[in-house]
Amino acid sequence: MKKLLPHKWLLMLLAPIASGAAANSAQAQAWTLRLDLDGQEVVGTSVFNSPEKVLVLGVDGQIWEFAPSEAKNFAKVADGFTPWSQSQVRGELLREFGNQFEVTGTGHYLVVHPPGQRDQWANRFEQLHRSFQGYFTSRGFRVAPAQFPLVAVVFPTFAEYAKHSAKLGVRVSPGMVGYYSSRTNRVLMYDVSAGRTDDNFWEENAATMVHEATHQTAFNAGIHSRTAEQPKWIVEGLATMFEAPGVWNASAYRRASDRINRGRLDWFQDYAAKSRSPGSLKGLIQSDRVFAQRPDIAYSESWALCFYLVETDPRRFAQYLTTIAARPAASAYPAAQRIADFEAVFGSDWNMLEARFLRYIQALK
């Protein structure tokens, strides 16, 4: 009898998941497996597998991507899949970060922070989560409960933040105060104010928390998918939309004008008046290229388009978000499909859409 290579056994083990997901991904029965990857034990459930790549969603919420040949000692360990509880994740964080940090739990969050700084961080993250849920629920969006405790890690210095990020393969600069890691499902940032809450730099901390917590909540509430490619304009457009106080703190800022992101509006109106080319909207939809070429313009136009759609047509905007969040795991998202998905919801008359969009944004004061 021909002996199967170890990674062939892994693919055979995962095959029922793949066939079940192909037949009906919503009803496919997940189960728990254990394997060794680069000397580290991984426990989770498969969300995608092929002869070239496997994606495993860990019990702690992290996503592991690897080639089948890289996995060792794999086995099915349980029927079904049960994520870790908040207390289990908290214990793991305490072991990972040690006694130089404290871990504070709120309703949805576990925040790793320097000792004695609970009030500066934990409740703020929880408030942002509640604001996100309230904003989308009030506009008819279906917001799913988070499957895992949401984790944020605040480092006291840039050096510690940079060292930790390097282990994840992320290069950061002092100007990059924080980011959301879809792979680890964590927000990582450093305290640019060095613990001084009355420091002017604290505003930069607050802005980073709003933007990155929006990413994290969106990817955990079914608004975005962590396993399928998402258009960058929609991901960054929503996060920049929440930078406005009337969005993330609607109870204190009640006027419609408080929902406008003034910085992004100024950028976009100036760009539209001076150098924006006709047809730019379609270019933004079909490719993420503009984010690498002209990031300030890309972020501003993404904000403007998201703001326009959610303010004028929230029902179809919710339909579009549902469409892209349901894309197959690990699939490419070519330009033609991006355009087709957008047109299926908003129509194919790009000239009319662009004219209405520009007229609306240019009228904002």
Distance, in Å, from the CA atom of 214 to the CA atom of 185, rounded to the nearest integer, reads 12
Distance, in Å, from the CA atom of 285 to the CA atom of 146, rounded to the nearest integer, reads 28
* In a domain? residue 60: yes
* In a domain? residue 1: no
- Per-residue model confidence (pLDDT) at position 18: 43
Chosen domain end from 220, 251, 266: 220
Q: What is the CA radius of gyration of the chain?
A: 22
* In a domain? residue 227: no
Dihedral pair phi/psi, residue 73, rounded to 5°: 50, 45
Q: Are 114 and 45 found together in one domain? A: no
* In a domain? residue 238: yes
Using the CB atoms, write b or e for 199-210: b if 16+ within 10 Å.
eeebebbeebbb
Q: Are 351 and 236 found together in one domain? A: yes
- Per-residue model confidence (pLDDT) at position 202: 72
**184 vs 20, residue with greater confidence:** 184
- Per-residue model confidence (pLDDT) at position 17: 43
Q: Are 273 and 336 found together in one domain? A: yes
- Per-residue model confidence (pLDDT) at position 204: 83
* In a domain? residue 330: yes
Q: Are 56 and 102 found together in one domain? A: no
* In a domain? residue 211: yes
Chosen domain end from 79, 98, 123: 79
Q: Are 146 and 59 found together in one domain? A: no
* In a domain? residue 106: yes
Chosen domain end from 79, 94, 116: 79
Distance, in Å, from the CA atom of 125 to the CA atom of 337, rounded to the nearest integer, reads 35
Q: Is the pLDDT of residue 316 over 70?
A: yes
Q: Are 157 and 197 found together in one domain? A: yes
For the segment 175-200, the average pLDDT, to the nearest whole number, is: 88
Q: Are 301 and 284 found together in one domain? A: yes
Dihedral pair phi/psi, residue 265, rounded to 5°: -65, -45
Residue 330, helix vs strand vs coil:
coil
Q: Give the model confidence (pLDDT) of 21-34 as tens digits.
A: 333 343 356 899 99
Q: Is residue 270 within 8 Å of residue 152, measured between CB atoms?
A: no
- Per-residue model confidence (pLDDT) at position 199: 66
* In a domain? residue 131: yes
Q: Are 22 and 127 found together in one domain? A: no
Q: Give the model confidence (pLDDT) of 80-138 as tens digits.
A: 999 999 999 999 999 999 999 999 999 999 999 999 998 889 999 999 999 999 988 88
Q: Are 119 and 194 found together in one domain? A: yes
Q: Are 147 and 272 found together in one domain? A: no
Using a pLDDT cut of 90, give the percent of the chain over it.
79
User: How many domains is the chain built from?
Assistant: 3
Q: Give the model confidence (pLDDT) of 227-272 as tens digits.
A: 999 999 999 999 999 999 999 888 888 898 999 999 999 999 999 9
- Per-residue model confidence (pLDDT) at position 3: 38
DSSP 2-42: PPPPHHHHHHHHHHHHHHHHHHHTTT---EEEEEEETTEEE
Instruction: Kindly give the pairing relationship between strand 150-155 and strand 109-113.
Output: parallel
Q: Are 309 and 337 found together in one domain? A: yes
Q: Are 198 and 282 found together in one domain? A: no
- Per-residue model confidence (pLDDT) at position 2: 38
Structural domain for 160, as ranges:
86-220
Mean pLDDT, the chain, whole residue set: 90
CATH at residue 150 = 3.40.30.160
CATH at residue 18 = 2.30.30.100
User: Global pTM?
Assistant: 0.91
